Amino acid sequence: MKEDLAQALVDFNKNVVLGEITRRLKDRQEPIELISELQDGMARIGQKFETGDFFLSELLMSADLFSKAMQILEPRLQDTAMDTIGTIVVGTPKGDIHDIGKNIFVTVAKGAGFEIHDLGVDVPVQDFVESVEAIKPQILGFSALLTPSFEPMKETVDLLIKKGLREDLKIIVGGGVTTGTVKRYLGADGQTTDVMDGIKQCKKLIGI
């Protein structure tokens, strides 16, 4: 009997999720199909979060399980291209090494179907700009817990404008220390201190 992978993820039932994936891979089911079921689970989790039935802790548990499952599935994708709904480059700017918030965003955004390029923490201005140049994402995301990282964000945005890379790009900033003031300062298109709200904004920014 096939277990409901999406529901097992919602229940953060590790044994069922990982057991089922191993079993179905053995039965030669395509990894891409499994990923799609897991993403369906992540979407249900997102809905529960929005209605207030789920809290960050539940999201954390499911997201952790989702990333464990992806660690098994992603290497098996080989040449199969995954359908993605958009591309995001994300990182924590220079001077800030916090990543828990960013990592949650990265996992949940993957779960929502975004292609994510995570530049890590303490990311220099130049690296953000070069990545935007090379990857051409629709969205650039900054994550921050410290006020001194506002300056490198601003420098990044200024350099993007100078290089003519800002126009086709949406910028969103997230993290506990960010506010509307920060959004205005950067001339960003979105801002949030809540991951699900961030996903919603990202979708809206690219017209989904």
Partner 1 sequence: MPQETMTPMQRIEAAVKLEPVDRIPCAPLMDIFFPAKYKGFTVAEAMRDWKKGFYSIADVFEEVGGWDAMILPGYSIPATPHVYSSGGIALGKNLFPGTHLGENDSPQFLETEIITRDDYDDIITLGWKGFRAKHQQRYNPAGEEQTIKWTQRQMERYKTELKFWRDKGIRTLCGAITSSPLMILSTSRTLLEVTKDIYEIPAKLEAVMDAMVDDLISDVVEASQLSGQSGVMLIMERGGGFYYPLNIYERFEYPYMKKMVEAFAAEGILTVMHLDQNYTLNLPYFKDLPSKMVIAELDSMTDIFKAKEILKGHMCIAGDVPAAMSSLGTPEEMEEYCRKLIDIVGKDSGFILSTGCTCPIDCKMENFKAMVNTTKNHYPH
Binding site for ligand B12 (CB under 6 A): 56, 90, 98, 100-102, 104-105, 141, 143, 145-147, 172, 174-177, 192-195, 198
Q: How far is the CB of 100 from partner 1 (least distance, A)?
A: 6
Using CB under 8 A, which residues numbered 73 to 102 contact partner 1?
95-100
Sheet of strand 190-192: strand arrangement: 114-118, 86-91, 139-143, 170-174, 190-192
CB 66 within 8 A of CB 107: yes
Per the rule left: phi > 0, alpha: psi between -120 and 50, beta: everything else, 207 is left
CB of 194 to partner 1, least distance (A): 8
Amino acid letter at 5?
Answer: L
Q: How far apart are the first and last CA of the chain?
A: 35
- For residue 96, the SS3 value is coil
Could you tell which of ligand B12, partner 1, none binds residue 182, using a CB distance below 5 to 8 A set by kind?
partner 1
Report, in Å, the least distance between residue 38 CB and partner 1.
Answer: 19
Report if residue 115 touches partner 1, rule: CB under 8 A. no
Minimum distance from CB of 173 to partner 1 (Å)? 10
Residue nearer to ligand B12 on the CB measure, 6 or 144: 144
CA-closest candidate to residue 153, choices 144, 145, 162: 144
| Binding interface with partner 1 (CB under 8 A) | 12, 55-58, 60-61, 64, 95-100, 146-148, 150-151, 176-179, 181-182, 185, 193
